[in-house]
Amino acid sequence: MTTIAWDGTTLAGDTLVVAGNLKTAGVKLYRLQDGRLYGGSGYQEQVLAVREWLETAGEKPKLEQFAAILITPDGACLRLEEQLIPMPIQERFHAVGSGRDFAMAAMALGKTALEAVLLAAHWDAWTNDDVMTLTLQQPERVDTSALQAAIREYVCIQEQQKTVPKKPPEYEPTY
């Protein structure tokens, strides 16, 4: 299977994919188009099918021996299993996959998600030590100072035009 861990800041997962007796590398962590983070454990084709379902909201794939972590853009952690019903996780960290118990113990002792997956790789036969990580991107702050200055200048000009007559009155001295 694999180990996927979330420590409240970082989603970490190993890259081991096993097909029969063949070990290879694969991606199990994804940043979805809407900003959510997704990490799946189980058969690689199911991990990919769920990613596709999350992106397109099409027909739910049929799954077995599957678990995943889904992180919303605001940092909420959800667990997905075969029925793909999001289950909110209240703890500050969580893990799924064959190495989850090792990872959960490591994070309970203060380790990061990356360290937890590396520890799981030492003990779990289905987790390797080639670990990927994803973090939620903070929304990029847009520098609005130029826009704010332009608005202030526009308002100032409008205020000046209200107090200054458009055409000065004709002045003719009387003698």
> Is the predicted pLDDT of residue 23 greater than 60, yes or no?
yes
Predicted TM-score of the model (pTM): 0.77
Domains along the sequence of the chain with CATH: 3-135 (3.60.20.10)
pLDDT in tens, 91-142: 999 999 999 999 999 999 999 999 999 999 999 999 999 999 999 875 444 4
Distance CA 1, CA 37 (A): 19
Contacts of 100 (CB under 8 A, 6+ apart): 3, 4, 5, 120
Residue position matching structure tokens 């990872």: 103
pLDDT given at position 19: 86
Q: b/e for 45-70, b at 16 or more Cβ within 10 A? A: ebbbbbbebbeeeeeebebeebbbbb
Paired sense of beta strands 131-135 and 10-14, if any = antiparallel
Average pLDDT over residues 56-70: 93
pLDDT given at position 141: 46
